[in-house]
Amino acid sequence: MNGENHDGSIDVEFEGMPSIRLESFKSMDEAGMLERLAIATRRRRFSLFRDWQIELADVDYSNELNGIVEVPARDGDEKTIVFDGASIPMPWLVSLLTVGILRPLGVMLVGSIVHDYAYQYGSLRISKDGGNTFKDIPLSRHRADRLFRDIVGTVNRLPFVGYIAWFFVRIGWLWVRYNGKHFGGKPPLVEFSVLLLLMTGVWWVYTVMGLGLTLIAFSSVYVVLYIASIAIGRKRRRRV
């Protein structure tokens, strides 16, 4: 496969970004304001115009994943496969808390398409002979999450972003289904422990500083991160 090559925790190569189309929500002409707000917070679902392939190498924790992964646009019944972007719980809130970094159709797009397909079918279509024949390879939930982390971190050359995205999909273990079933794979005990520590830390800051100062402190950090993200974005565009 000749195309974009990315080296990182794993090697990732694909010929071009996937061509996607957004799947519209059903119209709700008579919906009230609260219903419209609820619709606005839902995951933006999308589908592929055509089958898309990505080649993986040096996946040392699962040799079966090394090869060309094909994500089909349609299933065996010729029905369009719809994706929601990484299966991150409450994506609007996650995007807000991460200053817009973790947007399903942003830096996570390449990883989320592979991740979403694995979540829907519990497997990936992989070729070991250069794309001539493909075989469905079963994939456990925690390995699908780890592969998502490595693809996001490698493609964007931002490993820490891959880890943050991975953390949020692991937290979704409680309510996001995998292959049509709840739970599955290794329980994210460490991730929930980290979440508990973070929440405890926020509560401690609140009890020491009070609500007003806590809001000011977190708002200041948020503004600094937001300005930094804009500056970095402009710098990258100038380079391009």
Domain count for the chain: 2
Q: What is the pLDDT of residues 99-133, one digit of tens each?
A: 556 666 666 788 989 999 999 999 999 999 988 99
Answer yes or no: do 166 and 214 share one domain.
no
List Cβ neighbours of 22 (8 Å cut-off, separation of 6 or more). 44, 45, 46
Answer yes or no: do 33 and 77 share one domain.
yes
Q: What is the pLDDT of residues 160-190, one digit of tens each?
A: 888 988 988 898 898 888 999 988 888 999 9
Q: Report the pLDDT value the prediction gives residue 240, as an integer from 0 to 100.
A: 45
State the maximum Cα–Cα separation within the chain, in Å, rounded to a whole number.
63
Q: Report the pLDDT value the prediction gives residue 58, as an integer from 0 to 100.
A: 94
Answer yes or no: do 224 and 148 share one domain.
no
Answer yes or no: do 123 and 193 share one domain.
no
Answer yes or no: do 159 and 196 share one domain.
no
Rounded Cα–Cα distance for residues 8 and 147 (Å): 12
Q: Report the pLDDT value the prediction gives residue 73, as an integer from 0 to 100.
A: 92
Token output for 47 = 């589908």
One DSSP character per residue, 152-195 reads HHHHTT-HHHHHHHHHHHHHGGGTS-BTTBSS-SS--HHHHHHH
What does each C-alpha distance from 143 to 38, 81, 106 come to in angstroms?
Answer: 32, 22, 22
Answer yes or no: do 74 and 162 share one domain.
yes
Return the sign of the alpha-carbon dihedral for residues 98, 103, 106, 111.
positive
Please give the residue range of the domain that contains residue 199: 188-240
The answer to whether residue 43 scores a pLDDT higher than 90 is no
Answer yes or no: do 175 and 239 share one domain.
no
The answer to whether residue 64 scores a pLDDT higher than 90 is yes
What stretch of H or E contains 219?
helix 189-239
Answer yes or no: do 87 and 153 share one domain.
yes
